A and B are shown apart, each in its own frame.
Chain A
Amino acid sequence: MTRKSTQPAPEAVNGSQVRITVHHVTRVEGHGNIVVDVRNGTLERCELEIIETPRFFEAMLRGRPYTQASHITSRICGICACGHATASLRATERALSVQLSDQTVLLRRLVMHGEMLDSHILHVYMLVAPDFLGVGSVIPLATSHPDIVKRALRMKQFAGELCAAFAGRHTHPIAMTVGGFTHFPSRQQVEALRERAEALRADVDATVELFATLPYPQFERETEFVALVQPDDYGFIDGMIGSTDHPPRPVDEYRQVTNERLAVHSTAKHTAHQRESYMVGALARFNLKHMHLHPRAQAAAAHLGLSAPCFKPYYNSVAQVVEIVHCVEDVVRLLDTALERGIVPEDPAPVTLRPGARGVGAVDVPRGVLFHEYQIGEDGLIQEANCVIPTGQNLGNIDRDMRALVPTLLSEPEDVIRHRLEMLVRAYDPCISCSTHFLNVEFVGK
């Protein structure tokens, strides 16, 4: 279901009631509307409507062999395909007691770093930067700031090739399988990637310099942050579910964190843990485990004015820039390890089928923590599946940020309010297609 998109149509009712309708907030993935209703100076309604059709991937998995799950679920998203595949594989592997080799763990990490880089570069350069550089999209940005767009494309290309070297291809990876990989790059390929990763530092430094100059809105609201945590590591795969409000929980207890519920205005479910809502994503990860960032990433955070705890949602994009620095450094380190150990072709680790096997896979993908849970029968067919997507977990928090933000903006012209709200939603880097699975803004009175 998509609603016909309309242009922003401000309608002044009187001094205390203004009706503004904007359907289709752009530069986010998927379809949603922002609705703001202020009557007689009172905020009556302020929410992100999610109107995209649910996609029923969980139902598609039922009755399918476990070997197909990662390939089917990677289609949930064209940006986080590797993240969905990895969460899917981890759910299956944990259900079927698969013990991964150190090499598989290392290669999976490289793939996730590639995806994190690709997604963050896309978001900060092509979706966020136009807001600050006074252009409507990446196409005019290419005219006004060609060097910036070329740099972004160069960095994205590296990220995509990193994923492809290990996962066969970036979008919808093919070489990752239950228990391991079906393809291994040559030593020369790995050496070439290592050289390019190191050479990317100049672009990374230029990225930090660019984003350090942008005037981020300073709005802040205290909330709970949730991310995967690991001892002594800024990792993205496995670990415990960390929270700024609660001791870490095992990933098997994810339902006690997510507590999914239906929201009337959204075809994506909302979640709540210790408060009415929580936030996942780069800022949540930064707040929970900044101490494990690479020293260059920590220096970048200081230069960008980001310190923990940070309750400013617009700074999620800043945290993404910090993660770009971290990932490039970590890729260099991981590739060094791979070269030192040598990459040896190996068979996938074996599975143990048993009745009613159940497993949870958790991966901190670019937009936040992603859970897949499967129940697999002794015949290897999936009996039950559940996927909890990061954007879904952020929706409640976006609503509450908007409710806190709008009253501070009522003296501003409507165009400013609208733009600020769109920027807020974009800061969360929502992937609405994944969570239901667009964005329109509607104001009703002010």
Chain B
Amino acid sequence: MAHQPETVAGGTLVLGVGSLLMGDDAVGVLAAQRLQGHPDLPPGVTVLDGGTAGLGLIPVLDGYRRAVVVDAVPMGLAPGAIRRFVWHEARPIPHGGAVSLHQTDLTDALVLAETLGMLPPEVVIFGVQPGHLEWDRPLSPAVERALPQLVDALLGELRSE
């Protein structure tokens, strides 16, 4: 995970998560990288590469008014399809954290953050349907093509209040 800058209390956090080494799982991180320093990025927005930090994401989320999370999400759609949904509409299926903390994922982190009252009041998730999630593969062509659209959709989200 990238080094955390000063939290902008009450601001917006864009959090791209995933592994750069796992095919289309990289899409969230790549989107965050494209947004960082983007000329159209509104002021008061912090963009972070959340990598695979799992529960380490909880303190990162704390203190923001709004979090926009970007990740590869298997949704049974065509590869590259982008879907926006708000956290409270989603049906989280936590891993449970019981098996191993090597395996905690974004959902566990969000559920735990919510339980602890550390989740921003507004959480929007941009899910991208992955084509493949294998080691050491670049983005699939469909997800590669979706990346500019994803960045545009995120900028649109960030401009809206």
A residues apposed to B, CB below 8 Å: 24, 26-30, 78-79, 122, 126-127, 136-139, 142-143, 146, 149-150, 153-154, 156-157, 160, 164, 169, 171, 433, 438
In contact, B112 and A122 (Cβ under 8 angstroms): no
Question: Complex: how many Å from CA A154 to CA B94?
Answer: 22
25 contacts between A and B (CB under 8 A): A26-B98, A26-B99, A27-B98, A28-B100, A30-B100, A122-B101, A126-B55, A136-B98, A137-B97, A138-B101, A139-B97, A139-B108, A139-B111, A139-B112, A142-B116, A146-B115, A146-B117, A149-B112, A149-B116, A150-B118, A153-B55, A154-B59, A157-B59, A169-B3, A171-B53
| B98-121 interface code vs A (CB 8 A; 1 in, 0 out) | 111110000010011001111000
Give complex CA distance A146, B113 in Å: 10
Name the interface residues of B96-147: CB closer than 8 Å to any CB of A: 96-102, 108, 111-112, 115-118
- In the A-B complex, the 7 residue pairs with the closest CB atoms: A137-B98, A142-B115, A157-B59, A138-B97, A137-B97, A26-B98, A139-B97
- Neighbouring B residues of A79 by C-beta, 8 Å: 101-102
Partner of B100, one of A26, A136, A146, A149: A26
48-65 of chain B: CB within 8 A of chain A: 52-53, 55-56, 58-59
With A139-B115, A142-B116, A146-B115 already in contact, the answer to whether A29 and B94 are too (CB < 8 A) is no
Main secondary structure of the interface of B (DSSP, over half): loop
A154–B118 Cα distance when bound, in Å, is: 12
Would you call B112 and A142 a contact (CB within 8 A)?
yes
Contact B101 A160 (CB under 8 A): no
B98 engages A157 (CB within 8 Å): no
Cβ contacts under 8 Å, A29 to chain B: 100-102
How far is the CB of B132 from the nearest CB of chain A, in Å? 21
Residues of chain B within 8 A (CB-CB) of A138 are 55, 97, 101, 112
With a CB–CB cut-off of 8 A, which chain B residues contact A171? 1, 52-53
Q: How far does the alpha carbon of A127 sit from the alpha carbon of B97 in the complex, in Å?
A: 9
Closest to A149 in B: B116
Most buried by B among A26, A122, A127, A139: A139
For the complex, what is the distance from the CA of A268 to the CA of B94, rounded to whole Å?
A: 30
Question: When the two chains form the complex, which single residue of B1, B96, B116 contacts A137, counting CB atoms closer than 8 Å?
Answer: B96
Q: Which of B1, B94, B100, B116 has the most CB of A within 10 A?
A: B100
B96 touches A139 (CB 8 A): yes
CB pair A153 B98 closer than 8 Å: no
Q: For residue B116, which residues in chain A have a CB less than 8 angstroms away from its CB?
A: 142, 146, 149-150, 153
Contact flag A126-B101 (CB < 8 Å), given A137-B96, A146-B117, A153-B58: yes
Residues of B within 8 A of A164 (CB): 3
- Judging by beta carbons under 8 Å apart, are A27 and B100 in contact? yes
A419: min CB distance to chain B, Å: 14
- What's the least CB distance linking A76 to chain B, in Å? 12
Contacts A27-B100, A164-B3 known; A139 to B117 CB distance under 8 Å? Answer: no
- Give the nearest-CB partner of B108 in chain A: A139
Task: Apart from A157-B56, A438-B100, list 19 A-B contacts with CB within 8 A.
Answer: A24-B99, A26-B100, A29-B101, A79-B101, A127-B101, A138-B55, A138-B101, A139-B96, A139-B108, A139-B112, A139-B115, A142-B115, A142-B116, A150-B116, A153-B55, A153-B58, A156-B55, A157-B59, A160-B56
